[in-house]
Amino acid sequence: MAALFASPSLVADLTVNGLLIGGLYAVIAMGLNLQYGMLRILNIAHGEFLMIGAFVTYTLKVATGANPLWFLPVSAAAMFGCGLLLHATVFRRLSTISPTLEIMEEKSLIVGFGLLFILQNAAVLIWGSDLHGYDFMTDSLHFGSVVFTANRLLVLLLALLLSAGLILGLRFTLLGRAIRGMVQAPLGAMLVGINTRTLHPLCFGLGLALAGVAGSLLSMIYLISPDMGTPYLITALIVITLGGLGSLTGSMIGGVLLGLVESFGVYFTDPSLKILLSYSVFVLVLLVRPRGLFAQ
């Protein structure tokens, strides 16, 4: 601990690293919160769509040599289209034949497991099981005695801007107000003319689009593989439970908080204890605030 206070550069490095991880956690968790927290669709394959988004960016980057930032909209649009199709062909029917939300969650969980294995095996067939990656903005940036790589700072900025933009959009736009109204009072939303049959697939597609963007950002700083999605799914479930189901602000703050805890905790303990630290924070918050920090 004394070494921490003696080295401001170490504090800055751990803080930026925690914000980077937490910003990515927030984007992933917000996408899952749109599906589970708002629609009660427990899409356990959410992490696999993140993985597909990462491989879409990787493939286009390797094939064209262009800046991977150009492929963020491509990945988002592809996953959004997948979300609309998946909702129309599977989850809309599940919601129709499910008499209660609990049964809907159970059935969507089973479907999600099937999608998880299908997407993982398809990725192995297409890209193989090896690790993949590319170089992007690996130059070092110096801020006094602190050194960061440009790609990590860029990913941090984009993740935080995306999270803040989504929160502001849901709070201040007409579409965002309609979505919040649908979540808070579904029957009341229909009575005032909100087309919930349109908003449901839009929310689901937007959730997968966020997963695709998060995967693209991850590919810019980490190696990727077909089995990369599951750990991020587990973390996203922890984050939305911490922040509260349906609270995107809670997802953003919970993601950043968890990222900082992991960054500082791993430094002072052991990297192998990372998942233990996550679960410790998870259990502690559940004991103090069972419905999450920002439950709606």
273-296 pLDDT, tens digit each: 777 777 787 788 778 877 776 665
CA 35 to chain centre: 11
Number of domains, the chain: 1
Closest CA to 238 of 179, 197, 279: 279
Cβ of 281: how many Cβ atoms within 10 Å? Answer: 19
Write down the mean pLDDT value for the chain: 85
Instruction: Measure the CA dihedral 86/254/175/188, to 10°.
Output: 90
Residue 2 pLDDT > 60 = no
Tokens 């356990």, located at residue = 44
Give the three-class secondary structure for 192.
coil
Is residue 87 a part of any domain in this protein? yes
- d(C-alpha 140, C-alpha 152), whole Å: 10
Is residue 40 a part of any domain in this protein? yes
- Residue 143 Cα distances to 116, 161, 169, angstroms: 42, 22, 33
User: What is the reported pTM?
Assistant: 0.91
Give the three-class secondary structure for 149.
strand
Q: What local confidence, expressed as pLDDT, does residue 6 receive?
A: 47
- d(C-alpha 34, C-alpha 203), whole Å: 6
Residue 3 pLDDT > 70 = no
Least trusted range by pLDDT, from 83-92, 161-170, 258-267: 258-267
Is residue 147 a part of any domain in this protein? no
Closest CA to 210 of 34, 89, 57: 34
To 5 degrees, how large is the angle CA 124–CA 208–CA 169? 155
Is residue 179 a part of any domain in this protein? yes
Is residue 213 a part of any domain in this protein? yes
Is residue 74 a part of any domain in this protein? yes
Structural domain including 214 reads 7-129+153-228
